[in-house]
Amino acid sequence: MTSLADTTIPTAEAISWDTPATDHGLSGAEVIQVAVKRLPNQPGVYRMMNAAGDVLYVGKARSLKKRVTNYAQGRGHTNRITRMIRETASMEFVVTRTETEALLLEANLIKRLRPRFNVLLRDDKSFPYILLTGDHPAPGIFKHRGARSRRGDYFGPFASAGAVGRTINSLQRAFLLRTCTDSVFESRTRPCLLYQIKRCSGPCTGEIDPGDYAELVDEAKAFLSGRSSKVKSDIATAMQQAAEELDFERAAVYRDRLSALSHVQAHQGINPQGIEEADVFAIHQEGGQSCIQVFFFRTGQNWGNRAYFPKADSAMEGGEVLGAFLSQFYDDKPCPRLVLLSHPVEEQELLAEALSTRAGRKVTVSAPQRGEKKDLTDHALQNAREALGRRLAETSSQTRLMEGFAETFGLDSAPRRIEVYDNSHIMGTNAVGAMIVAGVEGFVKNQYRKFNIRSTDITPGDDFGMMREVMQRRFARLLKEEGLRDNGVNDGEADKGGEDDGKDADAFPAWPDVILIDGGQGQMSAVRAILDEMGIADQVTAIGIAKGPDREAGRERFFVEGRPSFALPPRDPVLYFVQRLRDEAHRFAIGSHRARRKKEMVRNPLDEISGIGPGRKRALLHHFGTAKAVSRAGLEDLMAVEGISESMAKSIYDHFHDGR
């Protein structure tokens, strides 16, 4: 999707003042006072940066001069704003034509730059959509996630892939649209099983006239676009007409389609009678955290919900957090005609205008006080309250486990980041090393890493050699990107002395406090040798986990430097915690190994020949049947294949005959 910052502000005037305060001995407030003198009374966006050039905060203003002047006055600020002003070393500004453009640009920059003092939407997972393709004579209906590179109509978002799957299954019965790939469609010579069970109309083999199939596609498009009542009315009319003409078989088809549509629109928890298309947002705050619950309603049905836990200062009110969240949420998603909120937000009308500009049609944003819409927001609020309660309980439990872990293994403090390593291979083939990461909030899956073992010097099946390679690659990259950890204090951890350290206490650390190795004394010796060689043995604590006799869970032995090996009581909560970590590492390693093995199994010898792309590969296989037959072919036979020149034929022949 093209950024609104690029499309709606083509004539924006950039004004910047970026002389570091460290060069002039200016405080943050003085830096802002200097910048104010050059600002106009026009709408725009400002960025506050520290001495290192990192963006601290992105904000928008109806009047840049008045808004930034408030920072320079130095009074009436919260602790968060005071810290932000103190760290500011330079500022940059963009003047926009309207305040709406400023709001759109602000949301775009916050999502791209992720400033420390803004409310940040933690959204690393895209939403699934339903795709009705538009690049084929017989359009298909598919589940889609990711970039919208294929031509067609996209409907959504859905909260989960399961919701998409259930909806597509019902739509198949209602509209009889194909779900096969284009290649399968072209190769069919007779209808498939879906046609036999009345889940497809069989356009692949001409079982339905192209014009009639196009009508089915138009009906499905109308239904997914919110015109469900008209579609159901038309089908009911057709059923009645067929019955009057005594064509009961055709009437039964229409009856089954109506039944399928009713199933799509079945009640799912709550049934919004008068709402065809809306997103419902509710926020609950507790324990210094915020949870925003989002419900998606399309075509009068609930398409699922999802909970978000945005990063925001605990002193911010719910409406303030919700407003900042909304402007970022729709940066890369289509906006419905109605947005319902549990709390009023600042500049609600401006937000509605910005969303309308982005959507190209009117979008209404409201915080209802009564009626069915209020019931929807109350329902979402209840879900937000319960989701945050579960998260706080899990975090509390995880914190206690971390503290118990530190006590059990003699650590100075509870670890904030634990990395667990494991290897997976079959007799040394397709060897993969895996790293999983856990923190105070549980598994941190966006930090997981896999390592395809590359070294040719390692004897197949040498687990020690594999672990050495994994450790070298992991910590060499960490040293290159992050450098050594100062005084053994984890990065991202605020100084206990106060707020002047300038570090973000909520940032997830890059350096691990503990590394867990799935192995005994031998593995630990290999790991410690690597850590000593790299000069980081004092930066992390390495712990080995050896499986018990007969690989029995609960009888593991632990290896920590400076202590004899030991076991934990069978019912110790820390033992269960470590077993969970090890099992997750094993699961991830096995999955990575299987994926690599599967890829190797489908490799074709033709892939190794330079100049052989998909087209030539397809032509060779169509001509000879198999890659083995290609390897046995002579020069003249190879040259007979369409698209294979004499020089290319010689390259293929030489590849399989060692250049002879």
Give the integer Cα–Cα distance in Å for 618 and 612. 10
Q: Determine the average pLDDT of the residues in 503-510.
A: 66
Topology (CATH) of 278-389:
Nucleotidyltransferase; domain 5 (3.30.420)
Flag whether pLDDT at 14 surpasses 60.
no
Name the least confident of 38-42, 180-184, 383-387, 428-432: 428-432
Q: Check residue 486 and give its pLDDT.
A: 62
Give the integer Cα–Cα distance in Å for 53 and 248. 74
Gyration radius of the chain over CA positions: 31
Superfamily of domain 4-113: GIY-YIG endonuclease (3.40.1440.10)
Q: Check residue 19 and give its pLDDT.
A: 40
Q: Check residue 422 and give its pLDDT.
A: 87
Q: List all residues 6 or more positions away from 47 whose beta carbon is below 8 Å from its beta carbon.
A: 55, 57, 58, 91, 92, 93, 109, 113, 115
* Domain spans, the chain: 4-113, 129-264, 278-389, 417-494+509-587, 605-656
Second-level CATH architecture of 417-494+509-587:
2-Layer Sandwich (3.30)
The owner of tokens 């309308």 is: 356
Flag whether pLDDT at 288 surpasses 90.
no
Q: Write the CATH number of the domain with boundaries 605-656.
A: 1.10.150.20
546-586 tens-digit pLDDT: 876 665 666 788 988 888 888 888 778 888 888 889 889 88
Q: List all residues 6 or more positions away from 490 whose beta carbon is below 8 Å from its beta carbon.
A: 416, 417, 509, 511, 513
Q: Determine the average pLDDT of the residues in 235-242.
A: 79
Flag whether pLDDT at 497 surpasses 60.
no
CB-count burial class (<10 Å; 0-12, 13-18, 19+) for 220: buried
CATH topology identical between 417-494+509-587 and 605-656:
no
pTM of the model: 0.62
Give the CA diameter of the chain.
92
* Residue 502: C-alpha distances to residues 57, 112, 505 (Å): 14, 22, 9
Amino acid symbol at 296: F
Q: What confidence category does residue 660 fall into, taking pLDDT thresholds of 50, 70 and 90? A: low
Flag whether pLDDT at 417 surpasses 90.
yes
Q: Check residue 496 and give its pLDDT.
A: 35
Is the bond preceding residue 157 a cis peptide, omega within 30 degrees?
yes
Residue pair 649/616 in contact (Cβ under 8 Å)? The answer is: no
Using the 8-state DSSP alphabet, how is residue 569 labeled? -
89-103 tens-digit pLDDT: 888 888 888 888 888
State what percent of residues in the chain have pLDDT above 70: 84
| Residue 626: Cβ within 10 Å count | 12
Flag whether pLDDT at 503 surpasses 70.
no
Q: SS3 of 386, please?
A: helix
Q: What confidence category does residue 329 fall into, taking pLDDT thresholds of 50, 70 and 90? A: confident
Q: Which residue has the higher pLDDT, 203 or 164?
A: 203
Give, for 59, the enclosing helix (H) or strand (E). Answer: strand 55-61
354-370 tens-digit pLDDT: 888 888 888 899 999 98
Name the least confident of 255-269, 371-385, 483-497, 566-580: 483-497
Q: What is the mean pLDDT of the chain?
A: 79
Name the least confident of 53-57, 124-128, 311-315: 124-128
Q: What torsion, rounded to 10 degrees, do the Cα atoms 134, 135, 139, 141 define?
A: -70
Flag whether pLDDT at 381 surpasses 60.
yes
Q: Check residue 270 and give its pLDDT.
A: 52
Residue pair 351/327 in contact (Cβ under 8 Å)? The answer is: yes
**Where are the strands (E) in 354-461, listed by range?**
364-366, 417-426, 429-439, 442-443, 449-452
Q: Which candidate, 480, 475, 476, 509, places its Cα nearest to that of 492?
A: 509
